[in-house]
């Protein structure tokens, strides 16, 4: 359905798509099936829109934009394609901005050019997105920062469980391990034994510290390597994603470990300024063991990408 007041110059429109009042679509644009393009939208030539995309009123999609399936774009969301625009002066090629499948962009958000909004990510209303957003991340503010992960928090609002629950917290999550803790007037000691309290034999360790609180670490999975995380000082949020279920915990004590089995997409963020994260790994470093693309991870994990 194309409204009589719309100026639609492309024939590359899928079945079931609706284009409403006062929209302009230039001849080079490609629009998929079952989309809903609300009134007063503009779509330029070098734009590809996937299937089942909702574009609310007052949105302009400029050259270089790629929108995958099942994306929601809220009213008056703003996209850009030139970092240094000048009147009557055009770049040789406009930057490509990618909005991956299932992502949602809130009303009045601004997205800078040349970045990627990851699969199922959520951009809050009014956010200014200056850097690429990881899959499933929830970002808000100016500049946009990660405040959570989709489905890792209850309704996106309740805080994740904290390791400071001790044995009780560990018993509620199969990935949390309670390590022995000895405390007396001389101080405290926590100990782990590989193959016993730590569920594998380690061949490598690394320590993460001095991380700015706005930064995100991880954002990858391993094919065969096991990892075991202990926050020996401060606190850090850890997200584990097996492709179906996403869980999040705050590590904030040295006698609780978080186990990351192979084929788990791991993320660490919200580091406190004093955080020190100790990680044991079952294998020596191997660049080929890393999976850094979330779509590839879902495919290898046997989940629909």
For residue 158, is pLDDT > 50?
Answer: no
Of 154, 144, 149, nearest to 111 by C-alpha is 144
Strand ranges of the sheet holding 72-73, from the earlier edge strand across to the other edge: 18-19, 36-37, 54-55, 72-73, 104-105, 122-123, 137-140, 145-149
> For residue 172, what pLDDT is reported?
59
Residue 166's pLDDT band (boundaries 50, 70, 90)? very low
Angle, alpha carbons 114-119-124 (nearest 5°)? 75
291 to 75, 117, 262, 294, 300: CA distances (angstroms): 35, 18, 11, 8, 9
Other C-beta atoms lying within 10 Å of the C-beta of residue 65: 25
Give me the mean pLDDT over the 221-248 stretch.
Answer: 93
- 220, 222, 226, 283: which one is catalytic? 220
Residue 304's pLDDT band (boundaries 50, 70, 90)? low
The verdict on whether 222 is a catalytic residue reads no
Give me the mean pLDDT over the 260-280 stretch.
Answer: 94
For residue 279, is pLDDT > 70?
Answer: yes
Longest CA span, the chain: 82
> For residue 47, what pLDDT is reported?
97
Give me the mean pLDDT over the 238-250 stretch.
Answer: 90
> For residue 217, what pLDDT is reported?
86
The chain-wide mean pLDDT, for the chain, equals 90
> For residue 210, what pLDDT is reported?
93
**Interatomic CA distance for residues 146 and 176, integer angstroms:** 23
Q: How many helices (H) and strands (E) does the chain have?
A: 2, 32
Of 149, 75, 68, nearest to 105 by C-alpha is 75
For residue 108, is pLDDT > 70?
Answer: yes
> For residue 222, what pLDDT is reported?
96
**Strand, coil or helix: 263:** coil
Residue 67's pLDDT band (boundaries 50, 70, 90)? very high
3-state helix, strand, coil in the chain (%, to 5): 5, 40, 55
Q: Could you tell me the two tokens for 84?
A: 């240094």
Cβ(31)–Cβ(55) under 8 Å? no
DSSP 124: P
Residue 73's pLDDT band (boundaries 50, 70, 90)? very high
**Strand, coil or helix: 203:** coil
> For residue 156, what pLDDT is reported?
37
Label residue 187 exposed, middle or buried (CB < 10 Å: 0-12, 13-18, 19+): exposed
> For residue 133, what pLDDT is reported?
93
């Amino acid at each position: 359905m194309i409204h009589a007041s719309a100026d639609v110059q492309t024939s590359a429109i899928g079945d079931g798509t609706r284009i409403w009042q006062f929209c302009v679509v230039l001849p080079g644009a490609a629009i998929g099936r079952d989309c809903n393009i609300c009134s007063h939208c503009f779509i330029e030539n070098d734009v590809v829109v996937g299937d089942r995309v909702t574009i609310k009123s007052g949105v302009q999609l400029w050259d270089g934009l790629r929108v995958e399936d099942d994306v929601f774009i809220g009213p008056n969301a703003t996209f850009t394609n030139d970092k240094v625009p000048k009147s009557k002066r055009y770049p040789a090629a406009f930057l490509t901005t990618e909005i991956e499948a299932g992502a949602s962009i809130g009303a009045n958000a601004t997205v800078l050019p040349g970045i990627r909004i990851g699969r199922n990510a959520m951009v809050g209303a009014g956010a200014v997105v200056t850097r690429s957003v990881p899959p499933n991340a929830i970002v808000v503010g100016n500049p946009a920062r990660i405040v959570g992960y989709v489905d890792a928090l209850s309704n996106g609002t309740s805080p994740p469980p904290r390791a400071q629950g001790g044995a009780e917290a560990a018993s509620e999550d199969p990935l949390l391990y309670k390590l022995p803790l000895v405390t007396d007037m001389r101080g405290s000691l926590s100990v782990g034994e590989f193959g016993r309290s730590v569920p594998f034999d380690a061949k490598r360790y690394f320590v993460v510290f001095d991380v700015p609180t706005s930064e995100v670490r991880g954002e990858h999975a391993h094919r065969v390597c096991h990892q075991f995380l202990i926050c020996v000082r401060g606190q850090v949020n850890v997200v584990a994603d097996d492709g179906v279920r996403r869980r999040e915990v705050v590590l904030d004590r040295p006698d609780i470990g978080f186990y990351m089995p192979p084929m788990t997409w791991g993320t660490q963020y919200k580091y406190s300024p004093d955080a020190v994260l100790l990680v044991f790994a079952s294998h020596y470093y191997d660049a080929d063991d890393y999976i850094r693309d979330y779509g590839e991870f879902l495919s290898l994990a046997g989940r629909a990408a």
